[in-house]
Amino acid sequence: MTTQAQLHCLCLLTLYLTTGYGQEGKFSGPLKPMEFSIFEGQEPSQPIFQFKANPPAVTFKLTGETDGIFQIQSDGLLYHNKSLDRETRAVHRLQVSALDAQGNTVEGPVPVTIEVKDINDNRPVFLQQHYEGSVRQNSRPGKPFIYVNATDLDDPATLNGQLIYQIIMQLPKVNNVMYFQINNQTGGISLTPQGSQELDPLKNPSYKLLVSVEDMGGLSEHSFTDSVHVDITVKENIWKPPEPVEIEENSTEPYPIKITQVQWNDPGALYSLVDKENSPRFPFSIDQKGDIYVTQPLDREEKDAYVFYAVARDEQGKSLSIPLKIQVKVKDINDNPPTCPSPVTVLEVQENEQIGSSIGTLTAHDMDEQDTINSVLEYRIVDQTPKVPQDGLFLVQEFSGILQLVVQSLRKWDTPQYNLTIEVSDRDFKTLCFVQINVIDINDQIPIFEKSDYGNLTFPEDTAVGSVILTIQATDADEPHTGSSKILYRITQGDSEGRLEIETDPQTNTGYVKLKKPLDFETVAIHNIVVQAENPEPLVPGVQYNASSSTTFRLTVTDVNEAPQFFQQVSEAKVSEAVAKGTKVGNMTAKDPEGLDVSYSLRGDKRGWLRIDPATGEIFSVALLDREAESLYRVQVVATEVGGSYLSSTAQFHLTLTDVNDNPPRLVKEYTGLFFCYPPKAPGSLIFEATDDDELTFRGRHFTFSLGSESLQKDWEVSKINGTHARLSTKHTGFEERVYNIPIRIGDGGRPPLERTVSLPVTFCKCVENRCFQPAARMPGIPPVGMAVGILLATFLVIGIILAVMFFRMKRDKGQHNAESAQASETKALRN
């Protein structure tokens, strides 16, 4: 190969490697199907591939979609002589053939496919120069109401053809709030949540948007853009709740009846009704035009109003906006007659009532709507029984139902009862109601005691509370079992301390005088009691209580020897547990009702901490007190009268001990199982807890922890975790397999500060499954193995000797028995 040919091949190789043409890194090869990718816009006269053919092929021929751009030289070099344009043709399909000297095809044709790869050489362009749209106020945010679209001739499968939309400007921009948003992929323009709430055609009926589109996905500073104006008109929201509807009850028109209508801002909405009251009967429906119907007759007396909601949804069932409130009022008709409050209305009138006095009211009811003509009632008396002393004694007010006396006052001896028939009517219905009027006696008689003086009564001062000490009786001539004849007894003199009370038998008016509080000879020995008898009903004018309505008796209280009485049953005191012996800690005193001297003593002083002055009742400490032993110390104080019957009484003395810092810290428990595995692989730590027996304050405990010996600081370390816990840590791993007793100094920081040094036993031992393993030591009292074997052999030897002796004796006894038997036989024979 010549030098010039070598240079040509080298140039081709350089060109192929630079542009990336060809397959598998080759720039020449045999005639076979090939595919190439070439970026559009490349300089012309660029080689593509060098085809080679075997003799007798001497030249090549190119056919197909060359478009005058692709050529092949006779030596097989395929190249393009013009720049490629993907937007004109994205793929060129060529055929290459190898020809002999006569122009005959000896190889091929083979297909050669050239893909023109895209570059960003086209700017996006909106399909319209201007867009117009409209939107309803309160439309659902995020739902597009207009789309803007742009195209880009570049390859949409590459970034060159990927378009991004955005809103550049909104005019006007109220309070710097964007009311509109755009889907950057689809170009759909919708309302923002703020726009859905705040758009108002009365304030701003139109808006102008400047929308841009950018290719390269908006990711390159070399991208192309285009912009367009969008004019938006804001329309009034027609999705509004309708005015409240009024429907006449029990209508006879054919059902369903249209009563109102709702409409969504855009067509295609799906409507439904929601009854949030969950009524057992819901007589309403809605069609897909938004027309709302009542489907059956309504009854106002069953339900006078309905509140439900209309909902608009899209095709996917998603709610388009908030539901609308529908209000329906059921209009009343007069379809209910008046009703009486009860089968018979019972009223009472005193026999001395004046003409014009109100006796009572008959209140009838009507189920029709109140405060309408349908429920206005009129009253009229149609009959009076009996008609004595004459007819027409009563009047009923026409519209209020108030009954009055109109002729004369009534007398009970004429008749004790009147029965009236009263007609109650509304506009269309009439009802008869019945009234019974009872004439009641007036309180014109006063109570009169059967005795004006009940004499002298004598009772000891220890008479039980609740005891009846006297029965009194007064009578009243008014009608029995009425407020005019009922008698109440009241003590008016002689019982300023309220020791007595009087209960009245409601059937007989008998009065029972009882002890309400204990009698006290020392306070008052003689009571001169005056009792007044009265009626709960007031007397009629001109009648007054007099001396006949009062009585007297004399109550003498006899003395009873009583035990001393403490001024308080429980006395409480508080002292520090550190008070010195002989300190006064309290005082309790009692008084003897008979004036005798009192002696004091203690009972229940189980710890021997206190003594009491027998004459004054002052209580002193006689020993050191200990709050930790007993923080609330309870004893009984006994007061005994001196002389007389030596009666006594007891009271409680409670002594609360306040804490002082008199207990040094200690470990919260006995730590016997602390260990580290031997040999230790790394330094370790153990946690322990301290406490003390003093009172826990609101700040809690705040102990200090340190090693009890400075010599241990090279091996051990103590660090505080909190006020009660600390950590004991090793500083290295060079410990022996044994028990270490580590002294720990614990201080409490109290007043005065106290500290204690405790010992923590820590064992270094071999571990099995993270547990300390120690061979069992010989327990005290158990012999070693050799001694145990010796003892066992000796035991067996003793048992053997005993068995041998027993065997020998049994054998000897048997020989003697045989000899005696033989001798007996000889003797028997001789005798025979």
pLDDT tens, 456-488? Answer: 999 998 899 999 999 999 999 888 888 888 999
Strand partners, 348: 438
Please tell me the predicted confidence (pLDDT) of residue 407: 87
Contact 107, 29 (CB under 8 A): no
List all residues 6 or more positions away from 251 whose beta carbon is below 8 Å from its beta carbon.
257, 297, 298
pLDDT at residue 113 is higher than 70: yes
Mean pLDDT across 341-364: 91
CA 443 to chain centre: 63
Please report, for residues 267, 290, 612, the alpha-carbon distance to residue 238 in angstroms, rounded to integers and kept in the order given: 12, 12, 95
Query: Would you call 101 exposed, middle or buried from its count of C-beta atoms within 10 A (0-12, 13-18, 19+)?
Result: exposed
Q: State phi, psi for 804 to the nearest 5 degrees.
A: -65, -45
Mean pLDDT across the chain: 87
Rg (CA), the chain: 61
The more confident residue out of 104 and 788 is 104
Beta strands in 386-542 (DSSP E): 394-396, 402-405, 417-425, 430-440, 448-449, 453-460, 468-475, 488-493, 500-504, 510-515, 526-534
Q: Reduce the DSSP state of residue 189 to 3 states and report it.
A: strand
Q: Reduce the DSSP state of residue 387 to 3 states and report it.
A: coil
Provide the residue ranges of all domains of the chain, joining segments of one domain with +.
Answer: 28-117, 125-235, 245-331, 344-440, 447-558, 565-658, 666-772
- Name which CATH class applies to 125-235: mainly beta
pLDDT at residue 4 is higher than 50: no
Please provide the CATH number assigned to the domain covering 565-658: 2.60.40.60
pLDDT band at 241 (very low <50, low <70, confident <90, very high): very high
Token representation of residue 396 = 């009923």
Contact 335, 299 (CB under 8 A): no
HSE-up (13 A, CA, CB side) for residue 423? 8
CATH of 666-772, one of 2.40.30.110, 1.10.510.10, 2.60.40.60, 3.40.50.2300: 2.60.40.60
Contact 729, 720 (CB under 8 A): no
CATH T-level fold of 245-331? Immunoglobulin-like (2.60.40)
pLDDT tens, 632-674? Answer: 999 999 999 887 678 889 999 999 998 888 889 999 999 988 9
Tell me what percent of the residues of the chain surpass a pLDDT of 70.
91
Token representation of residue 100 = 């002999």
Please provide the CATH number assigned to the domain covering 344-440: 2.60.40.60
pLDDT at residue 823 is higher than 50: no
The reply to whether CATH 3.30.160.150 applies to domain 447-558 is no
pLDDT at residue 360 is higher than 80: yes
pLDDT band at 789 (very low <50, low <70, confident <90, very high): low
pLDDT band at 220 (very low <50, low <70, confident <90, very high): confident
Question: CA 734 to CA 600: how far, in whole Å?
Answer: 72
List all residues 6 or more positions away from 786 whose beta carbon is below 8 Å from its beta carbon.
none
The more confident residue out of 220 and 326 is 326
For residue 546, give the amino acid letter.
Answer: N
Asked if domains 125-235 and 565-658 share a fold, the reply is: yes
pLDDT band at 617 (very low <50, low <70, confident <90, very high): very high
Max CA pair span of the chain: 175
pLDDT band at 430 (very low <50, low <70, confident <90, very high): very high
What is the architecture of the domain spanning 28-117? Sandwich (2.60)
pLDDT at residue 830 is higher than 70: no
